[in-house]
Structures are given as structure tokens and as C-alpha cells.
Amino acid sequence: MADDAQSSPFIKHLASSDKRTRDSALASLRAFLSSRSEISELDLLKLWKGLFYCLWMQDKPAQQQALSRSLASLPSSLKAPVVLPFLRAFWATIAREWTNIEALRLDKYLYLIRQYVNASFRFLAANSWGNEEGIKQHGEIMAEFPLSAQDTKIPNGLRFHVLDVWVDELEKVEGEWRVEKRGVLEQLCAPVETLAKEGRLKVVRNAAKETLGDERLRAWRGLVAEGGKEDADMEDDEEEEWGGIED
């Protein structure tokens, strides 16, 4: 499937400058994916490599954003068993290709990532956040890739961007968290909490703490102000281990 999918016209046509061609290609891709109840990890990775470079080839900002939104709409059309593997392949691809993204192309991928953070939350929010196993698996994906606490191969630039948009995109999906849903919220926060405590670099830990300290998130979690008390890690200037050159 993957070799055919990667070289098929609907993948290539997603990078077209013609809106009609792009729309037709997206419809074909959506139909292709929505008909599958299972897609192998390797096939999804090959598919996402093709999609990654579709965006790479798109030059005009308006068309870049339109393509990113189109790509972010794909999870909503997938059969449930395929969604999380599809998201995992997305994050694996972004983490792998991040260092190859040129500065002039970075903005469009930052926008795509924001759209996928939002799309992920929307998938999990279906049925009133009732998919407990899905929420757990999504947390594992986030902890493995963009919010990994220990993997030095994950670019810090990717970590920082996901942390930066995390609360904003969650608010767009669920702006008011009732007390009975706080357990779900705590599950969603778990990878950020782990990163804040176990991140290899202080700058990464602090970025995660800043996300957790967002007033909106603290209000949703029912947390009270701590009177300006600094986390012990914030006082510690010593790095446990050198984490490589910053992105």
C-alpha cells in the first residue's frame, strides 16, 4: 500500500497550486484512508513522508496554511483503530525530519504542528472524552515523541513549540473543565508533568513548568496560587547531563 500511496497522483497533487486539484487530491486521499480498518506502522510512516514533502513543496503562505488544515482534517475521517497510529506516524515523521527543515520553511511546519495538536484533542474529546484507552495511548505517544523527557534525539525546538501551543489548542476544544472531567485533564497533563520533572535540560523543564503554570490550565485543574513559591528545580542551576546543542 505505502509504495503505491506515496507515488500516487493524489499525494503529488496535494502540493498543486491549483485549488481544484488540491481539493480533488484530498478527497481521494481521504477516501483511500477512510476505507482502511488497519494500516501498518511502516505504511503510515511512508505515507507521512510523502505528505511531509507535499507541504515542503508548497510555497505560497495561504496555500501552505490551507494544505496544513486539510492534512489536519484527515484524522476525523479515519476509522477509530487507525487514528492513533496515524497520529504516531505524524509525530515520528516530524521528530525525524525536524533538523532538515530550513528556516524559510519552518513557519509552515509550526502551523501544521499546531493544527495537529488541535486535531488530536478533538479526536480525544469525542463522546465527552470517554475514550479512556485512547487518552492513555495518546499520552504515551506524546511522551515518546514531542514531549519526551529523556530521548536526546527529539529536537528541543519541537518540544518548545508543542508546549507553547498546548494550552491554546486545548482551550479551543474544551474551554471549561467541570470537576468530574478533571481526571481526564490530569491524564492529558501527565506528559507535560513528566517533562517538567524529568527533562534532561533545565530550560526544557522550565518550559514545561511554564505551560503547567498557565493561569487557564491552573484554573481548569482547580489549583490555587502558590504565593510565588519557586519549584526546587527552578533554583537548581546545575544540569544533570549535557543534552546536546540547542535547536
- Kindly report, residue by residue over 83-131, the tens digit of the pLDDT: 999 999 999 999 999 999 999 999 999 999 999 999 999 999 998 999 9
- Counting the structural domains of the chain, the total is 1
Q: From CA 130, how far away is CA 159, in angstroms rounded?
A: 27
- Alpha helix locations (H) across the chain? 2-7, 9-13, 19-34, 41-56, 61-72, 80-97, 103-129, 132-144, 156-173, 182-198, 202-212, 215-221, 232-235
- Whether residue 140 is contained in a domain is answered as yes
- Whether residue 21 is contained in a domain is answered as no
Considering only residues 22 and 244, tell me which one the structure prediction assigns the higher pLDDT.
22
- Whether residue 143 is contained in a domain is answered as yes
pLDDT grade for 7, boundaries at 50, 70 and 90: very low
Q: What is the pLDDT of residue 179?
A: 94
- Whether residue 217 is contained in a domain is answered as yes
Phi, psi of 157 (to 5 degrees): -60, -35
Q: From CA 207, how far away is CA 142, in angstroms rounded?
A: 16
Q: From CA 5, how far away is CA 121, in angstroms rounded?
A: 27
* Residue 4 pLDDT > 80: no
Question: Domain of 124?
Answer: 59-226
- Number of residues in the chain: 247
- Whether residue 147 is contained in a domain is answered as yes
- Whether residue 8 is contained in a domain is answered as no
| Residue 46 CB contacts under 8 Å (≥ 6 apart), including other chains | 2, 3, 5, 6
Q: What is the pLDDT of residue 3?
A: 43
Q: What is the pLDDT of residue 17?
A: 74
**Rounded alpha-carbon distances, angstroms, from residue 74 to 8, 31, 119, 177, 200:** 17, 10, 9, 27, 34
| Residue 169 CB contacts under 8 Å (≥ 6 apart), including other chains | 114, 117, 118, 121
Q: Supply angle C-alpha 29, 141, 149, rounded to 5.
A: 140
Whether 74 and 30 have beta carbons less than 8 Å apart is answered as: yes
Give 128-162 pLDDT, tens digit per residue: 999 999 999 999 999 999 999 999 999 999 999 99
- Whether residue 11 is contained in a domain is answered as no
| Residue 109 CB contacts under 8 Å (≥ 6 apart), including other chains | 55, 94, 101
- Whether residue 5 is contained in a domain is answered as no
